[in-house]
Structures are given as C-alpha cells and as structure tokens.
Amino acid sequence: MMDRRVRLRDRDGRFGLSKDKAETPVGQLQWGGRFGAGPDAVMQAINVSIGFDQKLWREDITGSRAHAAMLGAQGILSAADVEAIDAGLAGIAAEIEAGKFTFVDALEDIHTNIEVRLTERIGDAARRLHTGRSRNDQVATDFRLWVRGAIDSVTAQVTDLMKAMAGRAAEHAASVMPGFTHLQTAQPVTFGHHLLAYVEMLSRDAGRLRDARARLNECPLGAAALAGTSFPINRHMTAAALGFDRPTANSLDSVSDRDFALEYLSALSILAMHLSRFAEEIIIWCSSPYKLISLTDAFTTGSSIMPQKRNPDAAELTRAKTGRIFGALLGLLTVMKGLPMAYAKDMQEDKEPVFDATEAISLCLAATAGMVRDMQADTARMAALAGSGFSTATDLADWLVRVLGMPFRDAHHVTGRIVKLAEDQNIDLPAVKLADMQAVEPRITEAVYQVLTVDASVASRTSFGGTAPSNVAAAAAKWLEILA
C-alpha cells in the first residue's frame, strides 16, 4: 500500500507561521476540478476533523454498506459494484479494528478517508458509492447512529446504578437517619428512603434518554446536500436497514438538524446534576462532623502531607465533571443559535462536545455505582443524629392536632414554645419533662412521649411515598423487580 502519511511543514517551528501547503501523496485533492492548489497549513489545521470524527468509522461504514445495497436494489449500481463495495468496506473495517488503517489529515474527515481507501482497494466501483448522497446527509446519519448507540450505553449504566441504589435501599429500609432541609436537621427518614429518592431521579433521566432516542430515530441518508436527489433512491430501505423508524421528512431539516445532539446533551446535563447532588451528599456524609458512611480504599485517596486523610475524590470528581457536561450543552447551543439553513461547517463543532460529555458521564456513572456498592453506613451514628435538632417536633405538633383537636397553626405555636424550652435546657424533645410541657399546654399527657422517638416518627409516615420502613421495603422491592 502506498505511503498515506501526511506532514505539515513549518519552517519556524511554530504552528501557523508557515505559508507552506500541507503535503499529501494520496493523489488529487477531494474537491474535484474547482480547486487547483492545496490549502494553507493553517486552513488545513482548522478544517480537519479526522482527529476526532474517526470515532464514527463504524457508523460510516455501516451507513455506506446500506446505501450501496439500496443503490443496487434500485438499479443505480450494478450487482458487481455493490459486491465489490461491500467487500471493500468490510475489509476496511477489519483494517481499522486491527489498527492497520492510517488516518490521513489531508483527507479531512472520516468519510473521505474511508472512500479514498476504498478506491485504493477496489478501484472505480468505489467512486460510484457517493451517488445520491452528500457528506452532509452522510455525517448527519453517522452522528445519529453514534448518539443512538451512546444513549443505549448510558441508559444501561443508569439502570445499573438504579439497581445498586435500590439494592442498598432494601438493605437499609429501616435504618433511620436525619432528614435535612436547608442542610439543617428536619425530620427523621430512613437511609433506604433517601437512596430511593435518587432512584426516582434516575428513572426520569432514563425516561429522558429514551424519549431523545425515539425522536432522533429518523434517517437523514438520501437527503443529499440539502435538496434531495434526482436519482430514484429508496430512503425507506436505507432507514430500515440502519434500524431507523423512518426517513426524515424534509431534506433541508435533515442536514441542518442537530436537535438530537442537543436533546441528548440536555438529558446528560440533568443526569449529571443528579449525580453531582449525590456526590455532594457522599462528601458530606463522609466528613468528620457527620461520619454517616465510609468508603474503602477502592474509592478514596490519601494526602501527600496528612497521613490520616481519606479523601472521597471519586465523588469530588463526579461533582466537578458536571461542569464539562453543562459546558458541552451550552457550547453546542451557541454553535447552532445563529446558523441559517441548511448545513454550515460550524456544525463540525458538534461532535467533540458530545464525545467528551459521553465519556465524562459514563465515567461518573461507573464511579457512582461503585461508590454505592462500596459505601458502608454507620447505622448507629445515623440513628444518633436522626434524633438531634428536635427532629420530632412535627410529630409533637401532629399529636396536638390529632389527640387534642388543636388547629395546626396553634399546634405549631405550642410546639415552637416547647422546642424553645428544650433548647434553653440544652436537651432534646424526648427529655423534656411532662410538667414543663404542661406549663405550655395543660392538656398534654404522658402519651405524647410515644410519638417523640425517632423510630416512632419514621414508622408513622405511612402515607404514599412516605419514609415508613414498610413503605421503603415495598418500594425497593418494586424497583428491583422492575429493573430486573
């Protein structure tokens, strides 16, 4: 095979100063007869995309094989040409898989790299493959195929994380812990209930990903540059062959639409936000003032100077990578916001943020699932803190309403006075003497102490979606059944 390597010459040793052209021994430039000279080195550097769009090689070959088969079925290509193209593309796939394919910068993108190599392998038949299509619809098809596969992969990881959380929730259905609002102790909940809150969030994330997949599953192939083609192609055939529900309905929209990438990044951004919230809680729970959970050496790191440290770096990096994913969404929105119809080279900037965000979210999901399975809850510490901060005050107010028939606003006021009394004495509510309570509200009886314990509080929260251990156990079991 001929030497397909490419060099960029720069006499000054600094990128961008040389006026020399990029050299390629591949053959004529891919623009046909319109251009008589090669691009400036800077032009080539800003224009080339093979450094990142080579990730689309599988999708590009798959789309080309489907396109060739359709051209043959429609009588546009001969059976011999289709057979040669299909075998040649299969051979190129094997070369890439084996690491024997040389990606050439001067050929700009994955489409031209594969087409030129196909021409080297099979000759003129390869030059007929591009009949009835453009790189505009070709890249739109490749990118949709890649995003569709990424959605399936990310959704599987979300499901795995949900299983991990639901499993730990079942284990801790009755493990009481402090529930917080404003990061202040509010009411007791169970650890299982807390974990199931994230299962609910993740289920919505999975739903958004599925919705995005359904909307993107239309095939642009055959829309050509922007106006369709005069060849008698069968777009429904290629759409079906590539697993799409249907071909896209408007050729202009087909090549200019990147909503599918934006919707995917939007779904990833919300997912990343949820992972970041959980990461923040892991960091808090692991901290010395709380010590509600611990992580093993598998998901922590140490300090170069403080030998006692065990840092939850996996959680911290999950929290940080959210910014990369948000940035990918905002970046692509900014690229698309001012583009007139139809295709513009600006859209070349669509792939890197999607690739980067996908890699980041996949790593974050793996790390979070690992931490969920790794973490050990200190249930005694959780129970001790669950009763702090007058966490059963609402139970006292509810008792005043239920037993004494007091309007809730009056009960709220009475409870507040009793909390103030306990605070002044530096004790928790269950330790307040009956006589002191009766000094605030004479009708209070000894029975009130039955609702002031943490266990009684969580057991009473039996309303649908509440934190009662029986509710949590049932919800965890239901999720595990669904996810199985």
Indicate if 303 belongs to the active site.
Answer: yes
Q: Which residues of 263-281 are buried (b: 16+ CB within 10 A; e: fewer)?
A: bbbbbbbbbbebbbebbeb
What's the rounded Cα separation, in Å, for the pair 274 and 207? 14
| Positive or negative torsion for Cα 430, 433, 436, 438 | positive
Go through the chain and tell me how many residues it has: 484
Question: Dihedral, CA atoms, 182, 186, 192, 194, nearest 10 degrees?
Answer: -20
Backbone angles phi, psi at 118, to 5 degrees: -65, -40
Among 49, 230, 251, 303, the one annotated catalytic: 303
Give the pair of three-digit tokens for residue 269. 């951004």
Among 182, 288, 304, 463, the one annotated catalytic: 182
Cα angle for residues 460, 465, 467 (degrees, 5° grid): 40
Question: Dihedral, CA atoms, 421, 380, 276, 155, nearest 10 degrees?
Answer: -130
Q: Do the Cβ atoms of 382 and 292 come closer than 8 Å?
A: yes
End-to-end CA, the chain: 51
Burial class for 111, CB neighbours closer than 10 Å (0-12, 13-18, 19+):
buried
The answer to whether the peptide bond before residue 342 is cis (omega within 30 degrees of 0) is: yes
Indicate if 182 belongs to the active site.
Answer: yes
Beta strands per DSSP E along 206-353: 218-219, 246-247, 293-294
User: Could you list the active site residues?
Assistant: 182, 303
